[in-house]
Amino acid sequence: MTDPTKDLSLEEKASLGSGADFWTTKAVGAVPSLMLTDGPHGVRKQTGASDHLGLAGSEAATCFPPAVGLGQCWDTDLIHRVGEALGREARSLDVDVLLGPGVNIKRDPRCGRSFEYFSEDPVVAGVLGAAWVTGVQSVGVGTSLKHFALNNAETDRMRSSSDVDPRPMHEIYLHAFAHIVRTARPWTVMCSYNRINGVYAAENHWLLTELLRETWGFDGAVVSDWGAVRDRVAAVRAGLDLEMPGTGPASDAEVVDAVRAGDLSQDAVDRAAAAVAGLARRVQPGREAAVTADLDDHHRLAREVAARSIVLLKNDTDLLPLTAGTALAVIGEFAQSPRYQGGGSSHVNPTRLDIPLDEIRAQAGAGTVTFAPGFTTDGSGDAATLRNEAVQTAADAEVAVVFLGLGADQESEGFDRDDIEIPWGQLDLVAAIAQVQPRTVVVLSHGGVLRLQPVADAVPAILDGALLGQAGGGAIADVLFGAVNPSGRLTETVPVRVQDCPSYLDFPGENSHVRYGEGIHVGYRGYDARALEVTFPFGHGLSYTDFEYSEMMVASDETGVVVEVTVTNTGERAGREVVQVYLTKTDSRVVRPPRELKGFATSAVLEPAASEKVSIHVARSDIAFWDERRGDWTVEDGAYVVGVGASSRDLRVTDIVDVTGDEQPVPITWQSTLAEALADPAVAAAMADMLPAGASDGGDALGTDIVKVMGSMPLDRLKRFGMASDALDDLLTTD
């Protein structure tokens, strides 16, 4: 295949590397113009005014559940199907690249953009994000893996530096990106606005070139987040291929001038031009295929996936599912004005919108359904009157279904929340309702995590809808009445108090720096390490049936660990279980959380008494930790505890597996400590005459444990005290 950039001039190559306008690239020579639009949970194609903040209108498109909801299904096949549908809609609207998925880690529940990300856990974010990418790209539409990297807060996002140590950077924050690049091969990656340890992502050669391309093997185009480029020349030098949106001819001229002045290599410009041309080549078959989108079908899929995304947090006395014919009081403004997506660049203009109240009425059978708003989302009306009316309505019914949540103006791209409270007196409202109506179900709508302890203390049943997209109303009714047995699981912990969050003291940072002080202890890793009570743990979600775990088997080989377990439906309704695998290394030489999710799988729908043998492969790369001493991944040798169960705090079966490690001994130098030196048999032998008899066995003649007392002393300091044996001179290197 001939290279379409081969005969282009320097000016033409430079112009390929910046947008023509807000959403398109330039047509240059044989390379056509391409259209990129948001994403991720629907196509936001703007035909009139353009913006990246969700302000101006866009063409109608199916609004699937945003990642906060979608992720709760934990089902890669389902997400792949959503990806295909998104790809078909994008293609039918002549969109070449859909700007998603967002796989940043939900480090702190106050992040305003939590709704656009999958999880606090890197394996969940990586596996689900990969399914989304392969789904969209299977239709011939590109994806843009974003926001690369460490964009975990909105506050000051265009300047702030995410200051993070190497181990959490690799194990927590880069893991999902690496997994998706390696396994799903996204056609583009979007570099984020923020700085990473002081260097802007767009100008970060280590990030965009050494890690992304050279280590992970990325072969697509690096696109800037909209307006993330400050210095185009520095960005191209670092590895950026496409500046978006276009900022006019001056930007291209800077690139040309820099090459002529010897400040920027011709190779860098060639690489960027080739990457954009490569993207056009990848997109071409999709452009030529006659792809259509059946919007009715997509609405049905949106309903299916929304129902699968709902998490049953609590269901005391089996209050749910409701029986048709029950007299219901539906309370809460969200029942008639649903909150179903987040604000900002991902805001989709839905093709239609299911109203929960209507959908409940449609499934309620002969039962009366009354309604009271209970509160307003804009401060209008008299709060006391609204509340009294709602309490009375609830008291008069057999069951109250109360819709609570966050309003659209309380969380969005562009700013973070100050707290995780449920606003507008909704907590007082639900407490008052629970007083008069013990049979109360709460249905939640929100992007970021909420403080739910008062709700959990007040009512017997809670459904967490997060954000469910345009068909959420029907999906909520399906779960309430049992047409769908819930199988969603939390992808984020619900803490008792925001102050318990591991990141609490370091969010959202100050003076344009965020110190990631909690290190690897993000989300459940941190709550578990400090043995904190939580309201609902990571991975939690109930069902209308019960499952038993048995016949666990673990084995390891050079590819990783295989875990098998049999799941049996021991209840009375058909249902689906999400099986989670957690690993623990109790004798690790590095600090580790008590347990870490390493794999998961969703069962098929199991009829009562039916079983399924579920097999989960944990990749060896997921067992490794980032060894800061070597600047590389290391698998520790020995026993690992494997726990399998229904949540991070509900492990049903455990076993132990032996893994062959690949630890490299760290060479002993004059900077090594006495304890490190004595752990190396050769060096210990050379030091035999240095220490009093018995010292290295735990006590000298006086019973002093010299190694314990002096173990942290470096050998070069011992030498200065005249305590180092000459034999060490031959054995040790200096460093």
Calpha distance 33→25 (Å, rounded): 5
Q: Which of 99/184 has CB closer to ligand BGC?
A: 99
Contact 73, 79 (CB under 8 A): yes
* Candidate residues 99, 312, 313, 561; the one interacting with ligand BGC per rule CB under 6 A: 99
Among positions 329-388, residues that touch ligand BGC (CB under 6 A) are 345
CA nearest to 707, candidates 717, 696, 716, 718? 696
DSSP string computed for 488-520: ---SS-EESSGGGSTTGGGSS-BTTEEE-TTTT
Calpha distance 731→717 (Å, rounded): 17
Residue 427 three-state SS: helix
* Candidate residues 225, 254, 333, 627; the one interacting with ligand BGC per rule CB under 6 A: 225
Given 156, 225, 241, 478, the catalytic residue? 225
Strand partners, 494: 536
The least CB distance from residue 146 to ligand BGC, in Å, is: 5
| Element of type H or E holding 596 | strand 596-602
The least CB distance from residue 496 to ligand BGC, in Å, is: 32
Counting beta carbons within 10 angstroms of the beta carbon of residue 98, is it exposed (0 to 12), middle (13 to 18) or buried (19 or more)?
buried
What is the sign, positive or negative, of the torsion defined by CA atoms of 345, 351, 357, 360? negative
Calpha distance 430→210 (Å, rounded): 53
Q: Which of 38/478 has CB closer to ligand BGC?
A: 38
SS3 of 640-691: EEEEEEEECCEEEEEEEEEECCCCCCCCCECCCEHHHHHCCHHHHHHCCCCC
Among positions 46-85, residues that touch ligand BGC (CB under 6 A) are 52
Q: Which of 223/441 has CB closer to ligand BGC?
A: 223
The least CB distance from residue 333 to ligand BGC, in Å, is: 29
For 625, the token pair is 């930790």
* Candidate residues 41, 80, 146, 170; the one interacting with ligand BGC per rule CB under 6 A: 146
The least CB distance from residue 103 to ligand BGC, in Å, is: 12
Task: Collect all residues with Cβ–Cβ distance below 8 Å to 570 and sequence separation of at least 6.
Answer: 545, 546, 547, 548, 608, 609
Among positions 457-496, residues that touch ligand BGC (CB under 6 A) are none
Among positions 237-256, residues that touch ligand BGC (CB under 6 A) are none
Q: Could you say whether residue 416 binds ligand BGC (CB under 6 A)? A: no
The least CB distance from residue 464 to ligand BGC, in Å, is: 25
DSSP string computed for 683-721: HHHHTTTTS-TTGGGT--TT---HHHHHTTSBHHHHHHT
Binding mask of the shown chain, residues 14 to 53, with x at each position contacting ligand BGC by CB under 6 A: ------------------------x-------------x-
Binding mask of the shown chain, residues 288 to 327, with x at each position contacting ligand BGC by CB under 6 A: ----------------------------------------
Q: Which of 99/130 has CB closer to ligand BGC?
A: 99
The least CB distance from residue 137 to ligand BGC, in Å, is: 17
CA distances from 607 to 308, 569, 652 (A): 17, 7, 21
Q: Which of 42/332 has CB closer to ligand BGC?
A: 42
Q: Which of 104/351 has CB closer to ligand BGC?
A: 104
For 175, the token pair is 């893991």
The least CB distance from residue 136 to ligand BGC, in Å, is: 14
Counting beta carbons within 10 angstroms of the beta carbon of residue 270, is it exposed (0 to 12), middle (13 to 18) or buried (19 or more)?
middle
| Element of type H or E holding 307 | helix 295-309
Q: Is 225 a catalytic residue?
A: yes
| Element of type H or E holding 77 | helix 76-92
Q: Which of 96/225 has CB closer to ligand BGC?
A: 225
The least CB distance from residue 41 to ligand BGC, in Å, is: 12
Type of residue numbered 42 = G
Calpha distance 196→157 (Å, rounded): 11
CA nearest to 240, candidates 291, 203, 282? 203
The least CB distance from residue 116 to ligand BGC, in Å, is: 7
Q: Which of 116/254 has CB closer to ligand BGC?
A: 116
Calpha distance 272→537 (Å, rounded): 45
Calpha distance 538→578 (Å, rounded): 13
How many residues make contact with ligand BGC (CB under 6 A)?
8
Q: Which of 40/332 has CB closer to ligand BGC?
A: 40
Q: Which of 176/311 has CB closer to ligand BGC?
A: 176
Counting beta carbons within 10 angstroms of the beta carbon of residue 108, is it exposed (0 to 12), middle (13 to 18) or buried (19 or more)?
buried
The least CB distance from residue 443 to ligand BGC, in Å, is: 29
Q: Which residues contact ligand BGC by CB under 6 A?
A: 38, 52, 99, 146-147, 225-226, 345
* Residues that are catalytic: 225
